[in-house]
Chain A
Amino acid sequence: MNDLNNSIKENILMLKELFKESADLTIREMNLISSNSVSAALITIEGMCNKEVTASSILSPLTTYDFKNLQGEKVIDEIVLSVLASGEIIEINTLDELISFATSGFAVIMVDGTTKTLAVGAQGYSYRSVSEPESEVVQRGSREGFTEPLRVNMSLIRRRIKSPDLVFETITTGKTSRTHLMICYLQKSVSPKLLKKVRSRLEKCDLDTVFASGYLSEYLEDEWSKSIFSGIGISERPDTVCGKLTEGRIAVLIDGTPAVIVVPHLFVEEFQGVDDYSNRPYYAAFIRILKYISFFVSVFLPGIYTALAQFHPEYFPTWILIKTSESLAQTPLPVTLEVILMAFIYEIMKEAGLRIPKSLGHAVSIVGALVIGDSAVSAGIISSSTLMVVATAAICSYVTSQLYPPIMILRFIYIIVGGLLGLWGILLTTIAVLVNMSAKTSLGIPYLSSLAPFSRNSMRDVFIRAPWKILSKRTIKIQNFPESED
């Protein structure tokens, strides 16, 4: 940590050297009105500060105010007390702090003869406005989603929880990016052990740059419980995050990304949505069960289809068996290869669809629908039953979109295992996956909590959503789940 120098010239030289004469570093040197001719400098990063605010609220008062015979530190004190009207003035003493504030959009005022320096809030960079997150659309409820600047995201949470219990703690991470993080929690709800764990894991992050939540997820995961399922929750909705905070969870907001990390994260949460709590309980329960069924269909259907077609065709009802056999007999590839190929083509189309310019989207849809969907079947390359199975699994996987990565991986594993070992292989793989999931923890809380270990109290919000009158009787804190390390 480099201390600042008393000499303003030295400090400016140091800064210029550090920034290597970077084009966006703006240093405005000036002489203050004073009988002692005190020199000062205003340091800003172009594009990060609002130019109008800087000129009218900082530069203008500084250059017109008469500091009489004040010198050094007293000039700084006078600036804080009488010159500037800004509400956000922070005193800094080190070069690291100076760089951190300047690169965050603060205007930094240095005065000759003192190491005391001021960072004045004048942020004015452009950012995306608050809008509905595309990945978490709801029918009822708020249309607000997190955006990129940290401060805006903080305000979105604060507006929903107007309690002094809500705490935001700042951490800076990334050796080069110096990204600001906010650990957010409710003082009365959170477990101190859990909080300590989150802090220490974030502090251990030794990355050079942190640009997205995914960078930190791996640092927050429990190291010894490797799994394809993630114990880290991600949300772009302030109402979702606030709901989880009340249950004792901890949110990590990252500057520059709308995706907020919420920990600990359990498997059953993947099936809970904001709409469940706005809809009537019976409808919410129906939707929940639908989500569970969709999850199982998306994971198992192609694998089971492969296993049945390859090893146990007698399990198909006769009319399906006839149709399936007919269509499979007309195709040149073995059923396992056919299903893998189809699933693979679907993944390619999905990836292409995500990244392709919108203007070309229609062309891809036509190619996908006509060439793969229709022509491949009529040319006898792919059977219609395979196409239908893969398409059904693909649609079902989007019902629980957060689980898409593990679903996709498991789907391929089950297709291969089903093709090699039949239903028995699928069963054994399921055993291995379930044992792995049972062993997984998210910051010490079993990932399958509510189900295994079984918690009768929390079952009211797992397969069904109990009425609010029952839910509101007692909020179950995450640290009170059975077998949590707290």
Chain B
Amino acid sequence: MQINFKFPSNRLLLSLFFCGSAVILLQNYNISDNTSFLFNLICLVVGLVLCCIVFIPSMVLKRKYNLDFVMLTRRKTPRVYYLIMAFYSAYAVYTAEYFLLRYTDMFHDKYFSDAGVNVIAFIMIAICFYGACRGVNIITRFGIILSAFALLCYILIFSGGVQSLDFELHHFDFSGSAIGFISNTTFFLTPSFIAVIFAILSGYSENFKSRQIFVTLISLAVEFAAFLFFVSFALGAYADSQSYQTFLMSKISQISGLSGIESFYFALTTLSVFMIITLLLCCINREMGESKTILNVSVFSIVIFVLHICASYLNSVGEILTNPMLFNLFNIFAAFIIPGIYLLVFRRSENA
């Protein structure tokens, strides 16, 4: 095997940025209808500030003690290590499924209705399996190439959408209900799952600076805001009650009469979902001890696939797996509460 170098942590955060992008790219009925752009912008800011708070335990662990959560658990609570890691493995499977289901649904709905969702999921998981077997370092290297492609996609999508902009004044109102505010803020809290991946994989990285997290979250905020802006002003009222609004936005984009920019949206979404599932499989591998990478990754890939089949046949399973409230609750537990408790106990023992 290749020597596992510690790679710069900004590379890990770049990959996590792409993972976070999937949230807005795959958004489907999550943002409340009939709300203004400014209202959504406030929800976005609040949501991402909460994300930032969720990041604190893993950030402190890495910055102050140069530890990741797996190392800390192994060191402080060796007896319940496997229990905690079992929870995190279950979380990783759940998160992978959360995005995979949305992705296959979007693919089936918008791109290729003849394709079987399970076939799409199988091929996608197979590619992710290959990526995860190569390791985090390689995937973050791939993330650099992805960033160049993503930049091209964003330029095409946004510059192609400029001609469709139509500024409606009601989008500048601060109107919105309390329920809408909670619902939208919950949606913008979704990227907090990247804090869990960071907590587990940060051990592979070096040269970490706290500002890297802020830069990542601010970049995500800018990306989300740009999509919100274009969805509000380019699609307008047409966006209401439409599924996958960001897809629609890319579909109306045109550059000099050349259409088909939605294929770049699909590419970007596929790459983001690939990044999420692969990094989650890498997390599982790290939690399982890394000694049998192929076995660990293949077992959990099969679990993800089986779960996907269950979800596609049993609606109730699908609803649980794609429930945003449940997902956010899981995120807060996995990214904030459990590592937070560990951090407090660890600090106390360090001080003692």
Write the residues of chain A forming the contact surface with B, with a CB cutoff of 8 angstroms.
224-225, 311-312, 314-315, 317, 421-424, 427-428, 431-432, 434-436, 438-439, 441, 444, 446, 448, 451-454, 483, 485
Q: Give B1-34 interface residues, CB cut-off 8 Å to A.
A: 1-3, 5, 7, 11
Of the residues A225, A431, A483, contact of B127 by C-beta under 8 Å: A431
In angstroms, how far is the closest chain B Cβ from the Cβ of A298?
Answer: 19
With A315-B260, A434-B145 given, is the CB distance from A224 to B2 under 8 Å?
yes
Using known A-B contacts A224-B2, A315-B263, A439-B134, determine if residue A424 contacts B112 with beta carbons closer than 8 Å.
Answer: yes
B214 within 8 A of A: no
Provided the pairs A224-B1, A452-B144, A483-B7 are in contact, do residues A424 and B266 lie with their beta carbons within 8 angstroms? yes
Query: B144-181 CB contact bits vs A (8 Å, 1 = yes)?
Result: 11000000000000000000000000000000000000
Q: Are A485 and B1 in contact (CB under 8 A)?
A: no
* Most central of B141, B263, B274 by chain A CB within 10 Å: B141
On whether the beta carbons of A424 and B270 are closer than 8 Å, the reply is yes
Find A435's partner among B134, B258, B260 (CB 8 Å cutoff): B134
- What are 22 A-B interface contacts by the 8 Å CB criterion? A224-B1, A315-B259, A315-B260, A317-B257, A423-B267, A424-B270, A427-B266, A427-B267, A428-B127, A428-B270, A431-B271, A432-B131, A434-B145, A438-B134, A438-B139, A438-B145, A439-B2, A451-B144, A451-B145, A453-B141, A454-B144, A483-B7
CB of B87 within 8 Å of the partner chain: no
- Chain A residues closer than 8 Å to B130, beta-carbon distance: 432, 435
Q: Considering the complex, give the chain A residue whose CB is closest to the CB of B144.
A: A452
- Further pairs besides A315-B260, A431-B274, A438-B141: 9, Cβ < 8 Å: A224-B2, A314-B259, A317-B258, A424-B266, A428-B124, A431-B127, A451-B144, A452-B144, A453-B11
**B-chain residues with CB within 8 Å of residue A454 when the two chains form the complex:** 144
Is B111 located at the chain interface by the 8 A CB criterion? Answer: yes
A375 CB to nearest B CB, Å: 34
User: Which residues of chain B have C-beta atoms less than 8 A from A444's C-beta?
Assistant: 3
Q: Is the CB of A435 within 8 A of B2?
A: no
Contact A423 B266 (CB under 8 A): yes
The count of chain B contact residues (Cβ–Cβ below 8 Å) is 33
4 interchain residue pairs of minimum CB distance: A315-B260, A438-B141, A452-B144, A452-B141
Given contacts A422-B112, A423-B266, A428-B270, contact A438 B138 (CB under 8 A): yes
Chain A nearest Cβ from B129, distance in angstroms? 11
Can you name the residue of chain B whose Cβ is closest to the Cβ of A423?
Answer: B263
- Cα(A9)–Cα(B198), bound, Å: 79
Q: How far is the CA of A431 from the CA of B134 in the complex (A)?
A: 13
A428-B124, A435-B139 as given contacts; A314 in contact with B260, CB under 8 Å: yes
Verify B123–A428 contact, CB threshold 8 A: yes
Give the residues in chain A near B2, CB-CB below 8 Å: 224-225, 439, 441
Alpha-carbon distance between A444 and B124 when the two chains are bound, in angstroms: 30
Q: Please determine whether A453 and B7 come into contact, CB atoms closer than 8 angstroms.
A: yes
Q: What separation, in Å, do the CA atoms of A421 and B116 have in the docked complex?
A: 12
Residue from the list A317, A428, A438 in contact with B142, Cβ < 8 A? A438
Residues of B within 8 A of A438 (CB): 134, 138-139, 141-142, 145
Q: Which residues on the B side are within 8 Å of A312 (C-beta)? A: 260, 263
Q: Which residues of A contact B111 (CB under 8 A)?
A: 424
Q: Which residue of B lies closest to A484 (CB)?
A: B5
Least Cβ–Cβ distance between A428 and chain B, in angstroms: 5
Instruction: Give chain A nearest CB distance to B305 CB in angstroms.
Output: 16
B263 touches A435 (CB 8 A): no
- Residues of B contacting A439 in the complex (Cβ-Cβ under 8 angstroms): 2, 134-135, 138
| A residues in contact with B274, CB < 8 Å | 431
Q: Produce 1/0 per residue, B113-130, CB < 8 A to A.
A: 000000000011001001
Chain A hits for B131, CB < 8 A: 431-432, 435
Residues in B whose Cβ lies below 8 Å from that of A225: 2
Report the bound CA distance from A317 to B137 in whole Å. Answer: 41
| Chain A residues, CB < 8 A from B7 | 453, 483
**A311: chain B residues within 8 A (beta carbon):** 112
Q: Find out whether the CB atom of B142 lies under 8 angstroms from the CB atom of A435.
A: yes
- Residue from the set A422, A439, A444 with the largest chain B CB neighbour count within 10 Å: A439
Complex contacts, A224 vs chain B, CB 8 Å: 1-2
Q: How far is the CB of A423 from chain B (nearest CB, A)?
A: 6
B141 touches which one: A421, A424, A446, A485 (CB < 8 A)? A446
Quote the shortest CB–CB distance from A481 to chain B (angstroms). 12
Question: How many Å lie between the Cα of A444 and that of B3 in the bound state?
Answer: 9
Determine the chain A residues whose CB is within 8 A of the CB of B1 once the complex forms.
Answer: 224
Give min CB distance, B91 to chain A, whole Å. 24
Q: Residue on A with the closest CB to B114?
A: A311
Q: Are A485 and B3 in contact (CB under 8 A)?
A: yes
Q: What is the bound-complex CA distance between A226 and B263, given in angstroms?
A: 31
| Alpha-carbon distance A311/B11, docked complex (angstroms) | 36
Shortest A282–chain B CB gap in Å is: 22
Which residues in A have their C-beta under 8 angstroms from that of B135? 439
User: Known contacts A439-B138, A451-B145, A452-B145: does B127 contact A432 (CB below 8 Å)?
Assistant: yes
Q: Are A427 and B270 in contact (CB under 8 A)?
A: yes
Give a binary string over B85-105; 1 marks a CB under 8 Å from any A CB, 0 the rest. Answer: 000000000000000000000
Once bound together, how far apart are the Cα atoms of A454 and B7, in whole Å? Answer: 11
A448 touching B3, Cβ below 8 Å: no
